[in-house]
Amino acid sequence: MRIRGRHYQTAKPVEVEISQAVISRLQAVSGRIEHVDRWPWIAPGWFDLQVNGHGGQEFCSGELTVDGTADIARRMPAFGVTRFCPTVTTERFDVLRHSLATIAAACDESAETSRLVAGVHLEGPYLSPQDGPRGAHPREHCRRPDWDEFRRLQDAAGGRIRLLTMSVEFDGSAEFVARVVHGGVVVAIGHTAADGDHIRAATDAGARLCTHLGNGAHASLPRHPNYLWDQLAEDRLSASLIVDGHHLPPAVVKTFVRAKTPGRCLLVSDMSGLAGLPPGRYDTNLCALEILDDGRLVIAGQRQLLAGASLPIGTGIAYVMASAGVDLCTAVDMASLHPAELLGAEPDALEVGRPANLVQFDLDESSPGGNANPTVRATIVGGEAVFGSIWVG
């Protein structure tokens, strides 16, 4: 297989050859080339740590099926995603167990699904029950960390839980974090009302990420101290950000990226199971939700309280470039390299000998406000074109 485009790091035209699922040759395209600025970009495929579902299907559901799981996975390459984490949110134990076991079964039954699923992100149920921090997670199912329950959930998942988002405000949280980390799971702080001492103790115990920093928080906070400053100042914590034009204002994105540095920032979509559906009101396991005409996903009946996202991770690449002033290479690394490194997975790279997990896309950088989603031309997973039509010049 041969593919051409502009290298996302250098903007130079290159030709990539793929053989036996790896990049076998990468060379510059020589000679006079007209309109090279019209060539698509080539980059490593995007790695989304937080996908709740798509097209009306949620991963966290007592009705989730193996076929439904596989269907959601098959939709991801259309967004340039070559690896992702199905995200299971706060619910009763039996629903969580069913969801995790179903995802595990889908991976066991399908090499295609297993190749796309990098691991499961368990977001909850150990979250703050307070309004604001809990977001759209149901209060009645937010609970204290329970090691025996977590162990049973990991067993149901076949060991596939790779990322746990939890609040660290509870007594014993640091000890729980240490046990989870010892088991090979990355712990993220999120949906929390923790103070600085709690955050420091959890980080000392091994927590490494802030989940969608700036969201899942109180509407009003003390000027200082507060848990946003504490997480921003903690250099051992990376931060995942939902940069979709709705969740964080541009000035906040710029401030967060500068405070954390681009190397400690990751882009996530946080796509809801309602993503891909038309505007309207929908009843879900969480609560009644509404997709507004501008794409925002909110708790029904108002326009400000968000409840997940409806846009893919690629949207964040354009917005973080516009908001934080980073270049394309840096933005792509936030959506590809950094998530892989966080989970200890082999990062994809546009280099000879590396797995051929690539995305070929167009990006209109002249669009005001960065609100032009990358247009994915083709996505290659494991050396196979699984979406679109490859452009070869």
List, for residues 303-316, the tens digit of each pLDDT value. Answer: 777 887 889 999 99
Q: What phi, psi does 360 have (nearest 5°)?
A: -110, 125
List, for residues 9-50, the tens digit of each pLDDT value. Answer: 999 999 999 999 999 999 999 888 888 889 999 999 999 999
Spatial strand order of the sheet with 41-44 comes to: 22-28, 13-19, 2-7, 41-44, 358-362, 375-381, 384-388
In this predicted structure, what is the pLDDT of residue 32?
Answer: 80
Half-sphere exposure of 68 (CA within 13 A, CB side): 19
In this predicted structure, what is the pLDDT of residue 123?
Answer: 98
In this predicted structure, what is the pLDDT of residue 138?
Answer: 93
List, for residues 202-257, the tens digit of each pLDDT value. Answer: 999 999 999 999 999 999 999 999 999 999 999 999 999 999 999 999 999 999 99
In this predicted structure, what is the pLDDT of residue 367?
Answer: 60
Class of the domain covering 45-344: alpha beta
Give the closest residue to 40 by CA, choosing from 76, 16, 74, 24.
16
Using the predicted structure, report yes or no on whether residue 119 has a pLDDT greater than 70. yes
List, for residues 150-196, the tens digit of each pLDDT value. Answer: 999 999 999 999 999 999 999 999 999 999 999 999 999 999 999 99
DSSP secondary structure, 273-310, as one string: TTTTSPSEEEE-SS-EEEE-TTS-EEETT-SSSB-SB-
Using the predicted structure, report yes or no on whether residue 371 has a pLDDT greater than 60. no
Using the predicted structure, report yes or no on whether residue 285 has a pLDDT greater than 70. no
What is the domain partition of the chain in residue ranges? Answer: 45-344
Using the predicted structure, report yes or no on whether residue 284 has a pLDDT greater than 90. no
In this predicted structure, what is the pLDDT of residue 370?
Answer: 52
Average pLDDT over residues 100-120: 98
Using the predicted structure, report yes or no on whether residue 369 has a pLDDT greater than 60. no
In this predicted structure, what is the pLDDT of residue 222?
Answer: 94
Give ∠ CA 150-284-213 in degrees, rounded to 5.
60
- Mean pLDDT over all residues of the chain? 94
In this predicted structure, what is the pLDDT of residue 260?
Answer: 98
In this predicted structure, what is the pLDDT of residue 288?
Answer: 84
pTM of the predicted protein model = 0.95
DSSP secondary structure, 243-280, as one string: -SSSSS-HHHHHHHHHHH-GGGEEE---B-TTTTSPSE
